[in-house]
Structure 1
Amino acid sequence: MKILCVSDQIDPLVYTNSIKERFADIDLVLSAGDLPMDYLEFIVSSLNKPVLFVFGNHNLKELRYYRKTFDDHISSAWDTQDLNPKGSGAVHIGSRIIREGDLIIAGLGGSLVYNHGENQFTNFQMNLEILKLIPKMLYYRITKGRFLDILLTHASPEGIHDRPDPCHRGFKAFLWFMRVFKPKYLLHGHIHLYDLSDLRTSQYHETTIINVYSHYLIDTEDKK
């Protein structure tokens, strides 16, 4: 499956009338956060492909429509209602798991807490978000032989692609997640790459971590 990943910046290579021609072979779009909803809606309407997203720590004015409270019940990972409450076509997968084709995809949005703003979490709180996913991941482990394929996040893991300033530190919670549940990919944004030749990809145990800032293309057939 060919995936267009977007995050943090409205990319003129994506936000263009030629998007259909440039990304004609795309099967799926994943957004790692900090993008306005009208940008995602443009991608949905232009490519007519599934668009799955998590919120970051900016562009949160519509967060309340998708996640009215952070005190979700553990069943939220199973719930398929209210994933697209505004009818935009983009599907919110924050703290949820869904199947798209043969892929099992989980989402964990937000950043590490730095000023107590919206959609910021301590590591303890992120561990609670992960706990919501475990029952469904166990179901897939039994029925499909694996917990999941892709973890879509906004923030990076601690010590991998993150920065020392409080806003851009990564989650330690993601490290144990990767060790235990072994996703093929962890795709994140949040860390801006002002030089696109900077490090984007790292390996941690069995997981390939990719900073998908701006836009990035993945072909899951390349990793089997």
Structure 2
Amino acid sequence: MNILTLSDIESGYLWSCQHPIILKNVDLILSCGDLDPHYLSFIATYTHAPVLYVHGNHDTSYQTTPPEGCICIEDRIVTYHGVRILGLGGSMRYKAGPYQYTQSEMNRRVRRLWMKLRLYGGFDILLTHSPAFGIGDGTDLPHTGFHAFRRLIEKYEPYAMVHGHTHLNYGTAYQRLREYQHTKIINAYERYLLKFKQ
């Protein structure tokens, strides 16, 4: 399965006149947040693939203008062609506003999912905005990762975690691909094509 992952910055490559060709062989699109809702709506118009998303910390416009033709999977597990995707958006709380959480608040969000996690037998892809604590996150508060995400990876060992938030142009400390235990960690900044092997 070809999964196009997106985050943080609109891709000129996808805005181009070649987008129908680019999206032709994409089976699923996952957005990690901080993208203009009109951009996601545009992409959804030119693909047969579902567009699933979580919120980034800058997605306040989604409250009045959600991306059309796209599916929000916050605090949900969605299955597509047998692939289980768990969505948990937002960043560490560093100021007042939506889609920001303390470590304790994110822990509570995850605890509320225990029945779904049991019912689904875990998940294959963790779709987030922020990284997991200590795995590609930053040292400043806004870019600190969540402990809850790391625990989810350790307990369920999903195929992949896909996140954004820590832009690859912030410096060499941030990498596109990592691995933690048996899980691929993907920073989806702008765009990345994940070939999911079932």
TM-score by length of 1: 0.83
Q: Which residue, 186, 199, 203 being the options, matches 2:179? A: 203
Q: Render the CA deviation track for 1:66-106: whole Å, top value 9, x for unaligned.
A: xxxxxxxxxxxxxxxxxxxx681100001111111110001
1:42–1:196 distance in 2 versus 1, CA, 3 Å:
farther
Partner of 1:153: 128
Find the counterpart in structure 1 of residue 31 from structure 2: 31
Check if 1:212 corresponds to 2:192.
Answer: no
| In structure 1, distance between residues paired with 2:126 and 2:83 | 11
The percentage of counterpart residues that share the same residue type is 37
Post-superposition Cα deviations, 1:2-51, rounded to whole Å, max 9, x if no partner, equal 00000000110111221111231100000000011111100100113200
* Aligned residue in 2 for 1:89: 69
Q: Are the structure 2 counterparts of residues 87 and 204 from structure 1 closer, same or farther at C-alpha, using a change threshold of 3 Å?
A: closer
Q: Decide which of 127, 131, 146 is 1:171's aligned counterpart.
A: 146
Partner of 2:101: 121
Q: Which residue type is aligned with residue 29 of structure 2? A: V
Query: Where do 4+ consecutive residues of structure 1 move more than 6 Å?
Result: none
Change (3 A) 1:128 1:163: same
Q: Distance in 2 between matches of 1:52 and 1:196?
A: 28
1:41-80 paired onto structure 2 within 5 Å: 41-63=41-63
Q: 1:150, CA displacement in angstroms?
A: 0.4
- Structure 1 residue 63, shift from structure 2 partner: 3.0
- Distance in 2 (CA, whole Å) between partners of 1:160 and 1:125 is 20
Preserved contact between residue 75 and residue 87 of structure 2 (Cα < 8 Å): yes
Q: 1:13 aligns to what SS in structure 2?
A: helix
Q: Is there any run of 5+ residues in structure 1 with no aligned partner, and where?
A: 66-85, 142-146
Q: Distance in 2 between matches of 1:64 and 1:125?
A: 24
- Whether the aligned pair in 2 keeps the contact of 1:57 and 1:119 (CA below 8 Å) is yes
1:20 matched residue in structure 2: 20
Count of residues paired in the alignment: 197
Residue in structure 2 matched with residue 72 of structure 1 by the alignment: none
Scaled by the length of structure 2, what TM-score is found? Answer: 0.93
Contact residue 55 and residue 63 of structure 1 kept, 8 A: no
Q: Is the 8 A contact 1:32 1:153 kept in 2?
A: yes
Gapped regions of structure 2 (runs ≥ 5): none
Question: Does the 8 Å contact 1:19/1:47 carry over to 2?
Answer: no
SS in 1 for 2:11: coil
- The structural deviation recorded for 1:196 is 9.4
Output the CA distance in 2 between the equivalents of 1:199 and 1:48.
Answer: 30
CA RMSD of aligned residues (A): 1.8
3-state SS, counterpart of residue 136 of structure 1: helix
Distance in 1 (CA, whole Å) between partners of 2:176 and 2:97 is 27
Partner SS, residue 161 of structure 1:
coil
8 Å CA contact 2:52–2:70 kept in 1: the answer is yes
